[in-house]
Amino acid sequence: MHNIFHKVHFVGIGGIGMSGLARLCAFKDIPFSGSTLDGRLDLLEDLKQHGGKIYFSHSPDHLSDDTSCLVYSSAIAKDNPEIEKALRLGIPVLHRSKFLELLLKDYQVIAISGTHGKTTTTALLGYVLDQAGLDPLIIAGGVMPYYGSNVRLSHGPWAVVEADESDGSFLNFDTLHTAVVTNIEPEHMTFFRSVERLKQSFQEFLEKANTFRVIWGRDPVLSSLCTHLSVLTYGQGQGFDISAENVQAQSEGLMFDVLDGDKKIPSIFLNLKGSHNVDNALAVFTVARTLNIDITIIQKAFAEFSGIFRRLTVTGHFNEISVIDDYAHHPTEIQAVISALKHHQKGKVIAICQPHRYSRLKDLMEDFSKSLQRADEVILLPVYGAGEEPIPGIHSEVLKEKLAFHHKNVFSLPCWKLGIDRLCELLRSITQPGDVIVCCGAGDITQLAYLLPNALSL
């Protein structure tokens, strides 16, 4: 039988998910190499330190004679020269999700999916299991500051894994111990094509769980998919298996009471901002209780949890003005970020938004306009295409026109890399001490968020 783990080559190893798989290979003493055009240099350097050969280009020469398997992500084109060579030579070519399933065959897998909140939920649940002494493998879609990586390594038996629905790859798991779905909204519709197919995919994901299924009870779409399934529900309000009430925003986080059946656990502190994170915490609480984790351990973990990079991450300060980096790139996420800052900040919220993908802006133009209205000032950057070709009539100026009907303080700028001085001049003119600047988007706006504090001080 062919040993696919003899030597693995990753095409697109710089991606957050792919780098995590490579790190897991190193942990399991599986030799690996990989190619990429970009990625976090600290994560790539870590892979080098653990024996990986990293190439910053794509070439068929990167496949060695003893390559036993090629792993790719959905971001990689099928005509990639390395994939073409592997197919020509009969080397197994696997999507990253299928390869992950093979790596996890000896684990009890808890998989978290959903349109929003899955990365935070994955990381928080993994941290709770860690604090409970269950020594979990954790694979999240973002870097976890307390582990310095997007992966916490372990031989198991527990694995807490973020399951990516964007390309349907979350269905590549054969079976799961527990499936969690945080919410469902029309997203990634270039892949799903229809809402019905989107709903069917999430239903199939839930059906893969052989022990527990956990869903956000306030989502009517989710609830409609589970009429034939046994599920545990969570949510703020009443009528759920696990619920929260008396939610209060505090300077450094959130305080709320949890109702676990007829038992009330008062004054739980969560070291995160934004009421949406209460729902993420309730999902974690629900799963933790199925594993009989003591409530005091859950409380301690909630109070200590330091979040995920690119989720309301403070990158620096200027003149008592905070600059924040956030991955929010969907209208629901942008609205949640702005609302969270409004509850925790006394000054104005200035939102710099870089729309991500032309197709998303086309489908959700009105929603983007509504989500940005709560910000005191809005600065729009050009669309970050993420490999998509421009769509005629779909660009940030159109969004600006729609937003201007409801919002007088909206600006647009060309590529920030070419106009950072102009951006800084604008920001100095509209901010004052106590304000917060939040950079929202899944593209290269994260680089801007880290440059702004110093650039504004010049």
Q: Which residues, 6 or more positions from 30, have their beta carbon under 8 angstroms from its beta carbon?
A: 5, 7, 8
Question: Is the pLDDT reported for residue 458 higher than 80?
Answer: no
> How far apart are the C-alpha atoms of 188 and 191, rounded to whole Å?
6
pLDDT for the residue numbered 1 = 38
Distance separating the N- and C-terminal Cα atoms of the chain? 63
Please report how the helices 118-131 and 276-290 are oriented relative to each other, as an axis angle in degrees rounded to 10. Answer: 40
Quick check: 345 pLDDT over 60?
Answer: yes
What does the alpha-carbon distance between residue 7 and residue 374 come to, in Å, rounded to a whole number?
51
196 is catalytic: no
Higher pLDDT, 266 or 40: 266
Domain 313-457 class in CATH: alpha beta
The one catalytic residue among 82, 162, 185, 187: 162
The owner of tokens 């909630």 is 302
Q: Report whether pLDDT(16) > 90.
A: no
Q: What's the whole-number mean pLDDT along residues 84-96? A: 93
Which uninterrupted H or E stretch holds 400? helix 396-404
Per-residue model confidence (pLDDT) at position 432? 93
pLDDT over threshold 70, residue 308: yes
Are 116 and 122 a contacting pair, CB within 8 Å? no
* Cα dihedral value 111, 116, 120, 124, nearest 10: -50
Q: Taking residues 214-237, what's their average pLDDT?
A: 92
Residue whose C-alpha is closest to residue 279's, from 338, 318, 317, 336: 336
- Cβ-contact 250, 223 below 8 angstroms: no
Nearest CA to 352 out of 275, 418, 416 is that of: 416
CB–CB of 206/226 below 8 Å?
A: yes
Domain over 8-94 is classified CATH 3.40.50.720: yes
- Dihedral sign, Cα of residue 94, residue 98, residue 101, residue 102: negative
Note the pLDDT tens digit of each residue in 378-424: 999 999 988 789 999 999 999 999 888 877 788 888 887 777 888 99
pLDDT reported for residue 71: 96
- What span, in angstroms and rounded, lies between the C-alpha atoms of 446 and 22? 24
Name the packing angle between helices 16-27 and 96-103 (round to 10°): 30
**Residue 314 pLDDT more than 80?**
yes
Backbone angles phi, psi at 236, to 5 degrees: -80, 130
Catalytic residue among 7, 118, 208, 348: 118
Distance CA 416, CA 454 (A): 15
Examine the residue annotation and report whether 370 is marked as an active-site residue of this protein: no
Buried b / exposed e across 49-65, counting CB within 10 Å, b at 16+? eeebbbbeebeeebbee
Angle between helices 276-290 and 331-344 (to 10 degrees): 100
pLDDT tens digits, residue range 158-185? Answer: 999 999 887 778 888 889 999 999 999 8
What pLDDT shows up at residue 2?
61
Phi-psi region of 388 (alpha: psi -120 to 50; beta: other; left: phi over 0): beta
Are 353 and 441 in contact by the 8 Å Cβ rule? The answer is yes
Report the share of the chain in percent with pLDDT over 70: 99
Mean pLDDT of all residues in the chain? 91
Is CATH 3.40.1190.10 the right assignment for the domain spanning 104-304? yes
The domain ranges of the chain are 8-94, 104-304, 313-457
In the chain, how long is the greatest CA-to-CA distance? 67
Average pLDDT over residues 288-303: 96
Determine contact, residues 6/92, Cβ cutoff 8 Å. no
Segment (H or E) for 349:
strand 349-353
Q: Looking at 36, 67, 119, 446, which residue is catalytic? A: 119
162 is known as an active-site residue: yes
Question: Structure pTM?
Answer: 0.86
188-205 pLDDT, tens digit per residue, is 767 778 888 999 999 999
- For residue 281, what are its two tokens? 């915490």
Closest CA to 118 of 55, 57, 160, 177: 160
